Amino acid sequence: MRPSWKRLLISTLLASAWQIPTTWSQDLTKGADIYATYCAQCHGPNLEGGQASSFMDGIWNFASGRNLQRNNIEFGIPGTQMIAWNAVLNDDQIDAVLDFILEREKEMGITPPPPAERSETEDYTLKVDVVAEGLKQPWGIEFLDERTALFTEHAGALRLMVDGEVLPEPIANTPPPAGKPNGSTFGYLDIELHPNYAENGWIYLSYIHEVGEVPPGEYNRPSSVRILRGRIRDHVWVDEGPVYDPRPEDYTLIHDHFGGRMVFDKEGYLHFSIGDRGHMLDCQNLSRPEGKFHRIHDDGRPAADNPYNSLERYGVLTSVYAYGTRNAQGFAVHPETGDIWSSEHGPMGGDELNLVQAGDNYGWPLATQGLDRDGTVQTPYKSLPGMVDPVHFWTPSPALCGIEFVTGPLFPAWKNNLLVSALKHQLIFRLELDGRKVVKEEVILKESGRVRDIKTAPDGSIYVLIDRRGMILRLTPDK
């Protein structure tokens, strides 16, 4: 099938701007030929780089995993010089050139390197120690005391780390994780300690809960975010009880955008996020849990002063504290002001840092700084009346995840700075705040792998959960 005149026009315009051949590429089918024709000028004939980055180090700076790598070729990377190639290449050609690049990396033995042992920052040289690896995608971590940390593995386990060593056996009797048809498991998200944990021992677990059977023609069972609390006694999960139990109608077949972060505020209320679950418009519907920040008592009762309690008779959920959020995966409480901050995955462009306040509407999907996932315009509005603009945003999207305020004694120059992790860009930002404004931004760790969570240990060192090789890193000033 011959290309339309619109595609030919776009192809010609791109060729003029980027000095690429104007001949329509329909006859090119081999990945090597497509790469040589369209990619080699910038990325080098042997993947060594040039005008654009090299593939020789095994690091894709704006992607992690094949789907994101393909998206970057097809739709480009907003805010960079990487154009959208879907105007020139069809789907098969995009797959072919990506397969060529990945195969060449494999043939040349190119793999992502281990994290560097040192990281230079403006104030410190960071010593980077690999504390553990080979874990099954560590997701959230909390320190129980000076010697002991508890963390989740997304595959469905609670694990203890004592004196820097991960105990071989996971905690027994924890809730069953979600499952896939191939037999693999997944679904544990965040953990959070009760503010009075030392006295009552309560541990809160958010996870993906599945019900029913897999419908014909589907791959997943209906699922939702669920929150339990329990205690650990003799390496066994005990005293389990639900804190947030979804309604039957809250379970959906879409396995995406769960959110699932939790934090206790200074008043003792539990805040948690639920992503849009692929139902974007439900983020603006107060009778649905998707796309919301929720606020409840430690036992699960909605807070009595939540902003929409008076509308319960109209079907509004009384746990809702704020709304219009796409997929918030980071929560942190400012150590002095008590303000709650959240990091959020935007679409293609427009990852956000937000200040979470009662009744605020953060706009999704009616206002956003980014494009939709397929490169189209989700909405023409970056801001709308009555909706709260982000405190800070990033384009291209780094895929923000866990965040943490620096409070420990090891980093006095960073007191109350906010550390923000990124999955896709595989780095950590350090943000200096002036009140409720970001006044400075620095990358303090990069190319380490997808950063899932950050937590300060009792001794002031910074622990980092990394997807790559299932690692836990420890950051300290290099003396």
**Residue 427 — left, alpha, or beta (φ > 0 → left; ψ -120 to 50 → alpha)?**
beta
pLDDT of residue 327: 96
Give yes or no: residues 362 and 414 share one domain.
yes
Of 57, 82, 107, the residue that ends a domain is 107
**Residue 376 or 219, more confident:** 219
Give yes or no: residues 74 and 150 share one domain.
no
pLDDT of residue 85: 86
What's the pLDDT tens digit per position in 340-375? 999 999 888 889 999 999 999 999 999 998 877 666
Give yes or no: residues 78 and 170 share one domain.
no
Please state, rounded to an integer, the average pLDDT across all residues of the chain: 88
Give yes or no: residues 98 and 168 share one domain.
no
The SS3 call for residue 440 is strand
pLDDT of residue 64: 60
205 within a domain of the structure (yes/no): yes
Give yes or no: residues 83 and 143 share one domain.
no
Residue 397 domain boundaries? 118-477
Give yes or no: residues 103 and 128 share one domain.
no
pLDDT class of 55 with cuts at 50, 70, 90:
confident
361-380: b (≥16 Cβ within 10 Å) or e: bbbbbbbbbbbeeeeeebbe
pLDDT class of 56 with cuts at 50, 70, 90:
low
User: What percentage of the chain reaches a pLDDT higher than 90?
Assistant: 65
Give yes or no: residues 404 and 291 share one domain.
yes
What's the pLDDT tens digit per position in 297-343? 999 999 999 999 999 999 999 999 999 999 999 999 999 999 999 99
Q: Is the pLDDT of residue 9 over 50?
A: no
Instruction: Indicate if the alpha-carbon torsion angle 114, 117, 120, 126 is positive or negative.
Output: positive
The SS3 call for residue 425 is coil
* Residue 445 near residue 398 (C-beta atoms within 8 A): no
Cβ atoms within 10 Å, residue 434: 8
User: What percentage of the chain reaches a pLDDT higher than 70?
Assistant: 89
269 within a domain of the structure (yes/no): yes
Angle between helices 91-107 and 66-75 (to 10 degrees): 130
Q: Is the pLDDT of residue 23 over 50?
A: no
pTM of the model: 0.84
Q: What's the mean pLDDT in 211-233?
A: 92
For 248, counting Cβ atoms within 10 Å of its Cβ (0-12 exposed, 13-18 middle, 19+ buried), the class is exposed
pLDDT class of 284 with cuts at 50, 70, 90:
very high
Q: Give the chain's end-to-end CA distance (angstroms, integer).
A: 65
Token pair 């956003």 in the structure block, residue: 368
* Active-site choice (257, 294, 345, 425): 257
209 within a domain of the structure (yes/no): yes
112 within a domain of the structure (yes/no): no
Taking the C-alpha atoms of residue 257 and residue 234, their distance in angstroms, rounded to an integer, is 34
pLDDT class of 254 with cuts at 50, 70, 90:
confident
Q: What's the mean pLDDT in 117-141?
A: 96
In 45-131, which residue ranges form alpha helices assigned H by DSSP? Answer: 66-75, 91-107
Q: Is the pLDDT of residue 99 over 90?
A: no
Strand partners, 209: 224
369 within a domain of the structure (yes/no): yes
Give yes or no: residues 92 and 171 share one domain.
no
In order of 138, 152, 446, the CA distances from 203 in angstroms are 17, 12, 32
Of 107, 135, 166, the residue that ends a domain is 107
Token pair 């699922």 in the structure block, residue: 223
364 within a domain of the structure (yes/no): yes
Q: How many domains is the chain built from?
A: 2
Instruction: Let me know if 43 is a catalytic residue.
Output: no
Q: What CATH number is associated with residue 68?
A: 1.10.760.10
pLDDT class of 114 with cuts at 50, 70, 90:
confident
Of 87, 107, 127, the residue that ends a domain is 107
Give yes or no: residues 310 and 379 share one domain.
yes
450 within a domain of the structure (yes/no): yes
Give yes or no: residues 151 and 258 share one domain.
yes
Give yes or no: residues 127 and 43 share one domain.
no
Instruction: Indicate if the alpha-carbon torsion angle 309, 311, 316, 321 is positive or negative.
Output: negative
Q: What CATH number is associated with residue 321?
A: 2.120.10.30
Give yes or no: residues 260 and 376 share one domain.
yes
Taking the C-alpha atoms of residue 373 and residue 350, their distance in angstroms, rounded to an integer, is 12
113 within a domain of the structure (yes/no): no
- Helix (H), strand (E) at residue 142: strand 138-143
* Residue 349 near residue 329 (C-beta atoms within 8 A): no
What's the pLDDT tens digit per position in 158-182? 999 999 999 999 999 999 999 877 6
